[in-house]
Amino acid sequence: MSIRATAAYVDLGVLKNNIKKIKLFAAKTKTCLVVKANAYGHGITQISSVAASAGVDALSVATVDEGVMIREMGVTLPIIVLFQHSKGESEAVCHYNLTPVISSDATIPYYEDYCKRHNRKMKVHIKVDTGLSRMGVFLEEVSDFAKSILRYKHIEIEGVSTHLAAADSDEEKLLNYTKEQIDKFMTALKLLEKNKIKVKICHASNSASTLSKAAVHFNMIRFGLAAYGYSPNKNNNIDLHPALSLRSKVLVIKNIKSGTAASYGATWKAKKDTTLAVIPIGYADGLSRSFSNKGKVKIKDKYYNIVGRVCMDQTIIEIGKNSGIEIEDDVLIYGDDSVLNAQTLARTINTIPYEILTSITERVPRVYIE
């Protein structure tokens, strides 16, 4: 196998261990692993194919295409499509037996038509908007919405769900917001019950709410980030480990004179005679340009500053004289490291670990370790 010097190493054992620990927080509930956005950069096909053996009961994706890809590859677990899709995607949803979470009735007649033609039934989940103002129908509409769906003979409402806006916060005001959302969701469940509409699966919890002290799990959790080893909450007592580490190698080392600039725009200049190393990773691999003159990497237990701008394909670091670093030495960009992980990198450039992880692009090979 030929792999680039730059690769993302994914430890499947670590992933499975994280899942095991998370399951202890939500004992007795079903678990749905979120594998959208290429499994948060970890590789959707590989992660989906080990999910069942990691003990999850379902997978969820953001787009129909993602669902089709993993179904075609042989995944037999239920696949939930988290977001409303377009009419044109309805045929694929039915054909590949995906479970859509619907926020509009636009696609329902298409499901009905397909199911009639193929003499089968299909399951949908209803999304309730309890305060995110994104997907979902309002509480006041939920009963009528459900009834209108049940007029179609081939469609079963298997689940009801909502999504929380601020479950990762422990600020008083936001805790109250989460509580209001949960209350609204419970009211929606009661309304359905009152109308004799039975649903088997109720789900509201993402990673943050699964792990929070005020957790309400209903009977299925949908979690992504925590499985990959990061907790969205500041305070909790779960020991998760990042499953992915992004690594590269030193390919060029050069000595430069004091006053010499490095990289585009000459934004950095050497204050003294020094030594630089060039690493074959750039923003087109997912190392954001925002790390220009800001980020660090790790080589043999020491941290070195990124100097000058991160380029499309290369990054330059200052290793200084007599570092002992040699060509082909391993470089940690980030991973299971207290200084360099997706969470600390996110803080450095004012974003969230989700964005750091999903930024790893297709040209970075993923290497799986058991």
d(CA 147, CA 124): 13
Q: Which tokens belong to 213?
A: 């002290």
Looking only at the bridges linking them, the beta strands covering 99-102 and 122-127 are parallel
Instruction: List binders of ligand PLP among 245-284 (CB under 6 A).
Output: none
Burial 41-73 (b: 16+ CB within 10 A, else e): bbbbbbbbebbeebebbbbbbeebebbbbbbee
Q: Which residues contact 172 (CB under 8 A, 6 or more apart)?
A: none
Report residue 110 CA to chain centroid gap.
Answer: 30
Stretch that binds ligand PLP, among 10-18, 223-231, 292-300, 303-311 (CB under 6 A): 223-231
Residue from 103, 206, 231, 315 in contact with ligand PLP (CB under 6 A) = 206
* Active site annotation includes 36: yes
Report residue 357 CA to chain centroid gap.
Answer: 8
Percent of the chain that is helix, strand, coil (3-state, to 5)? 30, 25, 45
The yes or no reply on residue 222 touching ligand PLP (CB under 6 A) is yes
Whole-number minimum distance, CB 128 to ligand PLP, in Å? 12
The dihedrals phi and psi of 47, each to the nearest 5 degrees, come to -65, -40
Query: Within 13 Å of residue 142, how many CA atoms lie on the same side as its CB?
Result: 30
* Nearest residue to 78 via CA among 111, 56, 104: 56
Q: Which tokens belong to 174?
A: 């936001």
Residues in a beta bridge with 276: 254, 318
Whole-number minimum distance, CB 354 to ligand PLP, in Å? 7
Whole-number minimum distance, CB 272 to ligand PLP, in Å? 45
Residue from 100, 159, 232, 286 in contact with ligand PLP (CB under 6 A) = 232
Q: Which tokens belong to 214?
A: 């005020």
* Active site annotation includes 264: yes
Which residue is catalytic, options 30, 36, 249, 296?
Answer: 36
Stretch that binds ligand PLP, among 222-230, 251-259, 307-315, 345-353 (CB under 6 A): 222-230
* Nearest residue to 290 via CA among 315, 320, 259: 315
Instruction: List binders of ligand PLP among 160-199 (CB under 6 A).
Output: 163
Q: Which tokens belong to 258?
A: 């004091």
Residue from 17, 31, 48, 207 in contact with ligand PLP (CB under 6 A) = 207
Which residue is catalytic, options 264, 272, 294, 300?
Answer: 264
Whole-number minimum distance, CB 193 to ligand PLP, in Å? 23
The yes or no reply on residue 224 touching ligand PLP (CB under 6 A) is yes
The dihedrals phi and psi of 318, each to the nearest 5 degrees, come to -100, 120
Instruction: List binders of ligand PLP among 63-92 (CB under 6 A).
Output: 82
The yes or no reply on residue 7 touching ligand PLP (CB under 6 A) is no
346-350: Cβ within 8 A, 24+ apart: 348/291, 348/294, 348/295, 349/288, 349/290, 349/291, 349/294, 350/290
Whole-number minimum distance, CB 326 to ligand PLP, in Å? 39
The yes or no reply on residue 242 touching ligand PLP (CB under 6 A) is no
Nearer to ligand PLP, 145 or 354 (CB): 354
The yes or no reply on residue 34 touching ligand PLP (CB under 6 A) is yes
Count of residues that bind ligand PLP according to CB under 6 A: 13
Whole-number minimum distance, CB 135 to ligand PLP, in Å? 7
The yes or no reply on residue 225 touching ligand PLP (CB under 6 A) is yes
Nearer to ligand PLP, 165 or 284 (CB): 165
Rule CB under 6 A: which residues touch ligand PLP?
Answer: 34, 36, 82, 163, 206-208, 222-226, 232
Catalytic residues: 36, 264
